[in-house]
Amino acid sequence: MQEIKNATLCIDDGENSNVKQDSLQVPNVKINGNKNVYLEKFNEIVEENVVTPNVPLDIRNDYIARVITTAELAKNGKKYGAYLSQFEKVVNTALPNMGKDYVNKVVFDFRHKSIIVCSKQTAIKKEQVIAGICFREFKLRGFIEIVFCVVQLKHQSHGFGSFIMDLMKTYSNHLNIPYLLTYADNKAAGYFSKHGFVEDIELNEEYYKNYIKHYDGAKLMGVSVIEKVDYTLLKDQIEYVSRMADKLVIDIQPVRSYVSKTYAGIEHLFKESGKGNLKKSTIVALSKISGFERYNIRKLARIDPPEIDFEKKCQTILKELKSHKNIVWPFENPVSEEEVPGYHSFIENPIDLSTIKSKLDKNGYSHEHQFVADIKRMFDNCYRYNGSTSPYYAMAYILNKKFNVLQEKYFPDLFLQAKLPEAPTKEALEYCR
């Protein structure tokens, strides 16, 4: 993954074009262990030339995002003018009552910027603007005015509306501007409400009154942006934390033989340490993040007690897996460093069926969840180390499918699953026959 460098940005805040934001550093982000988050460029202005710091975006591989400013138009009018012209047409189609002259004036105004999402250029197809937000920054007053927020009609209901707003919030965060304001008519109010915008605006009226254009038949709505949150990654991060919490609940569960015992409380520990009055955490609650409801993240799963005979079922599953001799052999024993040099430096937590069997025999699992987690890790390790063209990848894929059937049979209510990755190539599958 490309390293992210610090960039000194010159930001037009709508009032003072000399306001600077120093040392904007975007973190190097990885997701799902073996897949780098898709990276694309936000174009920004420095004192002498244009730089393109990378911003992590959880975005479809067929699309890219750009921030267009009039300063870029002055340097490359043909390229960036084409983007804004396309965006202008999308706005006129989506908002015909605005009037073409007004839309043209705002989109090409030097005080406004536009975040646009485009399809990638191919050999037979040019880049095409899919969605965008035209906005104006009032940095010294602490807010950004969203003027237009549109998605091409044929691309609506495909997630672009949510994605473009996530980009807008993340971009606002990078500029340290805490509020987004907009005027929304009855049709748009539902969309903005979904993303956390409310009529009861937290920002004091004196900061935005007479600075933001009023629209007849529309209501002013606003949202506060949580500091340091990358909204483009928020859903994955919440899901990851939720899964980790589930796993920790399992890991700290006592062995079954001690479940019925009752222990004294721990109040005396606080008294002995003299730290009875703990300070409130500074971590922002998920419920405080505007628009959180739209992610539909499940509540923390209630972990049921382990099944009485779960170990017997796990042994049965292992026996079934081992019966597939033509595909199970790579997973029966630990990978040897002599046979595969460098394997253990790449795979930090190796696991195999013999190790799992040994843990089962020694009552090393207190819940079926832990058994499934180890099987899942075994498959994931194989997928990470081998590409989809590898026969080993194909064997893991086939065995993974068989395991999923067995899990559905013996542990149908368990939420943890060994999900299948990208399918192996036909050549790799042929090797397994």
Between CA 411 and CA 369 the distance in angstroms is 9
The interaxial angle of helices 234-251 and 368-385, nearest 10 deg, is: 130
Residue found under tokens 């040897």: 336
> Rounded to 5 degrees, what are φ and ψ at 265?
-70, 180
User: Does 349 have pLDDT greater than 90?
Assistant: no
What CATH topology corresponds to 35-230? Answer: Aminopeptidase (3.40.630)
Flag the least confident range among 113-117, 207-211, 236-240. Answer: 236-240
DSSP classification of residue 295: G
> What SS3 class is residue 409?
helix
Query: Catalytic annotation on 145?
Result: yes
> What SS3 class is residue 33?
coil
Higher pLDDT, 15 or 364: 364
Show the DSSP H helices in 77-179 as ranges. 77-94, 100-107, 160-174
Give tens-digit pLDDT for 361-419: 998 888 888 899 999 999 999 998 888 889 999 999 999 999 999 999 999 888 778 88
Count CA atoms closer than 13 A to 301's CA, side-chain side: 19
Non-local (6+) Cβ contacts of 433 within 8 A are: none
**Which among 356, 352, 427, 433 has a CA at the least distance from the CA of 385?**
352
Between CA 64 and CA 371 the distance in angstroms is 41
Confidence of residue 24 (pLDDT cuts 50, 70, 90): very low
Give tens-digit pLDDT for 54-95: 333 334 456 777 888 766 777 777 778 888 899 999 999 988
From 88, 137, 145, 311, the catalytic residue: 145
**Which among 234, 359, 353, 205 has a CA at the least distance from the CA of 295?**
234
pTM greater than 0.75: no
Between CA 392 and CA 418 the distance in angstroms is 17
Higher pLDDT, 225 or 251: 225
> What SS3 class is residue 54?
strand
Residue found under tokens 């190796």: 350
The b/e string for 127-143 (b: 16+ C-beta within 10 A; e otherwise) is: bebbbbbbbbbbbebbb
What is the amino acid identity at position 340?
V
C-beta separation of 377 from 370 below 8 A: no
**Which among 2, 5, 21 has a CA at the least distance from the CA of 172?**
21
Between CA 83 and CA 71 the distance in angstroms is 14
Work out the mean pLDDT of the chain and round it to a whole number: 75
Higher pLDDT, 80 or 245: 80
**Which among 305, 314, 413, 302 has a CA at the least distance from the CA of 360?**
314
Domain ranges of the chain: 35-230, 308-432
C-beta separation of 290 from 195 below 8 A: yes
Confidence of residue 11 (pLDDT cuts 50, 70, 90): very low
The b/e string for 147-184 (b: 16+ C-beta within 10 A; e otherwise) is: bbbbbbeebeeeebbbbbbbbbbbbbbbbebbbbbbbb
> Rounded to 5 degrees, what are φ and ψ at 30?
-120, 155
| CATH class for the region spanning 308-432 | mainly alpha
Tokens of 26: 């975007």
Give tens-digit pLDDT for 275-284: 555 455 555 6
**Which one of 139-153, 205-219, 227-241, 414-428 scores highest in mean pLDDT?**
139-153
Between CA 46 and CA 214 the distance in angstroms is 32
Residue 236's CB: how many other CB atoms inside 10 A?
15
